[in-house]
Structure 1
Amino acid sequence: MKIFQCPSCRHPVSFEHVACANCGTELTFDSSRIEMTKLASRQSCRNREIIGCNWCVEGADWYCGSCRLTRTTPNLGSTRNIMLWRRMEEAKRRLLYDLSRLRLPLASRSGARLAFDILSDEVSPILTGHLSGLITLNLAEADDVEREARRVAFREPYRTLLGHFRHEIGHFYWAMLVDGTTFQAPFNLIFGDQAQDYQAAINSYYSRADRSYDRSGFISEYATSHPWEDWAETFAHFLHIVSTLDSLAGLPLSLDDRARRTLTDPYLESDFEALLSLWMPLARSINELNRSLGMRDAYPFDISPAVKGKLHLVHMAISAFRGQQRLAA
């Protein structure tokens, strides 16, 4: 995520800011132009007062483009749920920023719009997942203590709210970028045959007694459960990479000419090798900084040659889709 500037005093402001810390100007994010603007000149989202949504609305709408995608909100009868919903929507806005920078549409080939159900499990258990463009998220994942308990229980090295969003959106884009396209055969070769029974594979995964797996072939343990999950995990990691490189672009670091060209817009970089050559030392550096602060590695993963090939396929599928969209226009 790049650093934005206050439109009044040019002081650096973050993606989530509702006001400039330097001059006090109230801010709103214009998602169509990807820039911070003055609230006075734009209408704010109705959820600004409730959950601090800082996106502006379009036309006569009451809600911004991000909030309109939330089909179902959680039970807001408690202050805790409102706080957790706020965190959910903040993560969703970051996801939508990623998709906008990648120039990926928010509707399927059939025209069905992407939608989100954010539900609390006070009455019955809620499973986070994706089905035909509808992403369901358990509000409890926004609770740091609950999410950490689940991370430990599932023996995961990494579990974040934004990671959930990026994983589930990977399922949505598999149908658009791979299914029935020229990437179907390469997908089956690299990720495996997606025709195998999904539910049976997931049931088998959760019933395993031996939790070891081939770390040279998969980015995570969950990626071994089914080729669709392997794709979703890999897609999420691709978003981790380009988003973090976008943040790197705004830091006061000494970089060579090729690195600076890549960081002009990592989301649209056509050279996959250029992305990876920047990402690998950056990931190691972030981990070392975290260790110096007594924290866990921020990116506790190794990108093996096989995983690199899978990431490359994600990059090629996204780039090919953008190329087709340009020709169609």
Structure 2
Amino acid sequence: MKLFVCQACNNILYFENRVCGRCGHQLAFLPERQTLSALEPADNGVRALADIGEGRFFCANAGHDACNWLLDLGQTSGYCRACRHNGTVPNLSDPAQLAGWRDLEIAKHRLFYSLIRWKLPLKTRSEDPDHGLTFNFLADDPNGQTKVMTGHDNGLITIALAEADDIERERRRLEMGEPYRTLLGHFRHEVGHYFWDVLVRDAGRLEACRAVFGDDTISYAEALKRHYDQGPPAEWQQNFVSAYATMHPWEDFAETWSHYLHIVDTLEMASEFGMEVRPPADQIGGLTARLSFDPYIVGDFDRIMQAWLPFTFAMNSVARAMGVRDLYPFILTPAVIGKLGFIHNLLQGAARAG
């Protein structure tokens, strides 16, 4: 993620900012320019100071304070590039459901920042009725009869509204023995399943993917039952980024995909701050890194790893000094790094094609 600058007063801005804290200008994100812009009133909509063109209009979800993106040029109503992929949303007349949906939208918009930066193919359900990317945000049955499960099915991603409750999400994390569980993590994982369909299955890369992640033709239902009955295999950490990744090659791909998105977006933010890791105690240079590159466009995956490992070592150490969990509580073995490299090449190829 980038840092942004207010065009009116040069104040530093963050992706989720709605108003500049220095000059008071309203702010909006321009997805086609990947920038946050100060706004001024216009006869027709608003004028973005980062774009000297004609008037622009807000996404319809701005009316619910759930989106601060502008519509594409020439579009005067409807939804932005991120919100047009929404299917079902919660009951917005319920304050608790509205608040939860807003939190989900923050995570979803961060996801779309990355997908747009890589120029990935993004078709809605109306554009592709069989496999368009759609998000359904569903609340549990208030009578307690059914619980919504987060998951993916042929382009349709269901996100359980209950995950927006910090206490409930932490309860599930502890119950499932997970070191990490966030809203953004859910979005990145589930969209990994969607892009397995688009970039692997439908793009003629099945054999190459199977050589790295294994045979995806094995029964998913049987693999799921075995995982929850028996748990992950012994010494799974040598070959998988998480215990859940051991369940089936599809889950291994989605987990690895999500971690790659974690890494790239975090490194971009660290680079925006000009961070450098250079501990005086490091006599051999293994923990030294200068984060001064754009990880979204770097071709050499080794460069990403050479920055990520020292950075997370430093950030985990800082987190422990505060008495909180590690920023990145995972071990990246050579086998896992090889899988991450596959995702890197897949995304870089898609970006070039886009």
Give the TM-score taking structure 1 as reference length: 0.92
What is the number of residues matched between the two proteins? 322
Tell me whether 57-66 or 208-217 shows the greater mean CA deviation. 208-217
For 1:62, the aligned partner's letter is G
Match of 2:133 among 107, 114, 118: 114
Residues 194-234 of structure 1 show CA distances to partners (whole Å, capped at 9, x for unaligned) of 00011121122112267755101100000000000000000
Residues 133-159 of structure 1 show CA distances to partners (whole Å, capped at 9, x for unaligned) of 111100011111000000000000110
User: For residue 110 of structure 2, what is the aligned residue in structure 1?
Assistant: 94
Deviation of 1:181 (Å)? 4.4
**Mapped pair 1:297 → 2:326:** yes
User: For residue 217 of structure 2, what is the aligned residue in structure 1?
Assistant: 195
Q: Quick check: which has more Rg, 1 or 2? A: 2
For residues 21 and 52 of structure 1, the distance between their equivalents in structure 2, rounded to whole angstroms, comes to: 19
User: For residue 178 of structure 1, what is the aligned residue in structure 2?
Assistant: 200
User: For residue 83 of structure 2, what is the aligned residue in structure 1?
Assistant: 67
Task: Decide whether the 8 Å contact of 1:126 with 1:138 is kept in 2.
Answer: yes
**Mapped pair 1:20 → 2:49:** no
Higher helix share: 1
Match of 2:67 among 53, 63, 79: 53
Residues 221-252 of structure 1 show CA distances to partners (whole Å, capped at 9, x for unaligned) of 00000000000000000000100111011114
For residues 195 and 263 of structure 1, the distance between their equivalents in structure 2, rounded to whole angstroms, comes to: 42
For 2:99, the aligned partner's letter is M
Tell me whether 158-167 or 179-188 shows the greater mean CA deviation. 179-188
Task: Decide whether the 8 Å contact of 1:183 with 1:317 is kept in 2.
Answer: no
User: For residue 155 of structure 1, what is the aligned residue in structure 2?
Assistant: 177
Tell me whether 175-184 or 10-19 shows the greater mean CA deviation. 175-184
SS at match of 1:243: helix
User: For residue 275 of structure 2, what is the aligned residue in structure 1?
Assistant: 253
For residues 49 and 106 of structure 1, the distance between their equivalents in structure 2, rounded to whole angstroms, comes to: 24
User: For residue 35 of structure 1, what is the aligned residue in structure 2?
Assistant: 35
SS at match of 1:313: helix
For residues 321 and 241 of structure 1, the distance between their equivalents in structure 2, rounded to whole angstroms, comes to: 18
User: For residue 282 of structure 1, what is the aligned residue in structure 2?
Assistant: 311
**Per chain length, whose mean CA-contact separation is higher, i.e. which structure has more relative contact order (CA < 8 Å, sep 6+)?**
1
User: For residue 81 of structure 1, what is the aligned residue in structure 2?
Assistant: 97
Identity of aligned residues (%): 41
User: For residue 7 of structure 2, what is the aligned residue in structure 1?
Assistant: 7
Tell me whether 114-123 or 141-150 shows the greater mean CA deviation. 114-123
User: For residue 267 of structure 1, what is the aligned residue in structure 2?
Assistant: 296
For residues 213 and 203 of structure 1, the distance between their equivalents in structure 2, rounded to whole angstroms, comes to: 20
For residues 225 and 284 of structure 1, the distance between their equivalents in structure 2, rounded to whole angstroms, comes to: 28
Label 1:310 to 1:7 Cα distance change in 2 as closer, same or farther (>3 A). Answer: same
Match of 1:232 among 251, 254, 271: 254
Deviation of 1:86 (Å)? 0.3
For 2:70, the aligned partner's letter is C
SS at match of 2:272: coil
For 2:331, the aligned partner's letter is D
Deviation of 1:62 (Å)? 2.9
For residues 301 and 261 of structure 2, the distance between their equivalents in structure 1, rounded to whole angstroms, comes to: 13
Label 1:212 to 1:133 Cα distance change in 2 as closer, same or farther (>3 A). Answer: same
SS at match of 1:104: coil
User: For residue 316 of structure 1, what is the aligned residue in structure 2?
Assistant: 345
Residues 54-102 of structure 1 show CA distances to partners (whole Å, capped at 9, x for unaligned) of 1112212232221221111012242111111000001000000011112
For residues 27 and 170 of structure 1, the distance between their equivalents in structure 2, rounded to whole angstroms, comes to: 30
SS at match of 1:159: coil
Task: Decide whether the 8 Å contact of 1:51 with 1:85 is kept in 2.
Answer: no
Tell me whether 51-60 or 222-231 shows the greater mean CA deviation. 51-60
The gaps in structure 2 that reach 5 residues or longer are 41-46, 48-55, 279-288
For residues 161 and 51 of structure 1, the distance between their equivalents in structure 2, rounded to whole angstroms, comes to: 18
- Structural RMSD (CA): 2.1
For 2:114, the aligned partner's letter is D
SS at match of 2:135: strand
For residues 274 and 12 of structure 1, the distance between their equivalents in structure 2, rounded to whole angstroms, comes to: 28
Task: Decide whether the 8 Å contact of 1:194 with 1:227 is kept in 2.
Answer: yes
